[in-house]
Amino acid sequence: MNTTNPYAQAGWQTWPPTTPEPPTFGALPYTGTVSSPNWISIAYETADGDVLDCTLRTPSNKAVYEVATEILDDAKTATTFSRSDGRLFAKIEWNDDGGNFVEIQGVLPRRDVLQWVRCPREEMSGTRVIRVAAHSYTFERHRETIYMYHDPDLSQSVELLAKFYREHDSPVLDVTPKSITEFERLHFSAINGYD
């Protein structure tokens, strides 16, 4: 007797699983079956759980970035992102009285965060869009996870590149291999004057 098919008790056969069919009458969008991308998990190693003072590590435990935050004076704090070889990659300046700034070496000159990050619609408070070089990326919060999508041109579909969430009270960043390739291409082309 088959316990997963109640009709098997009456002698009916259990049919093999089939590929999913599109929704009835096309009322819902259908994208077919798409296998999940291979995710690379980046772990945050931190003494006190603060992601603004941590080391980002690959699954093989290789340190790839150091994140450090320091108070510069009474009203300013700076968070720096350095590569594993110690070279500065990016910097965020936090000011108590407004005017927060972001800079990505060779990619994004120092500018006010509000000029870089925008909210596309007032009612979508969990969505933000950033523009780097000629590319736009959308960050969207859904429940306890922040998703990062590449905003393509009209000929392509939206593509999930990364997700940030907590697992067992530790922050985790999952990225696709393509997002790493895109990041390296973007950084290389901006430094060398392409794109």
| pLDDT at res. 125 | 64
Higher pLDDT, 86 or 119: 86
Answer yes or no: are the C-beta atoms of 164 and 172 closer than 8 Å.
yes
Domain boundaries defined on the chain: 38-191
Q: Pick the more confident residue, 159 or 93.
A: 93
pLDDT tens track for 19-56: 455 555 556 555 544 444 588 888 888 888 788 899 98
Which uninterrupted H or E stretch holds 44?
strand 40-45
Contacts of 19 (CB under 8 A, 6+ apart): 33
Q: What is the DSSP letter of 147?
A: E
More confident residue, 183 or 130: 130
Q: Is pLDDT above 60 for 177?
A: yes
Whether the pTM exceeds 0.85: the reply is no
171 — pLDDT class (breaks 50, 70, 90): confident
Query: Tokens for 77?
Result: 């704090």
Instruction: For the chain, give the number of residues.
Output: 195
Alpha-carbon span 188 to 143, nearest angstrom: 34
Q: Count CA within 13 A, CB hemisphere, residue 142.
A: 7
For residue 31, the 8-state DSSP code is -
* Whole-number Å distance between alpha carbons of 157 and 139: 16
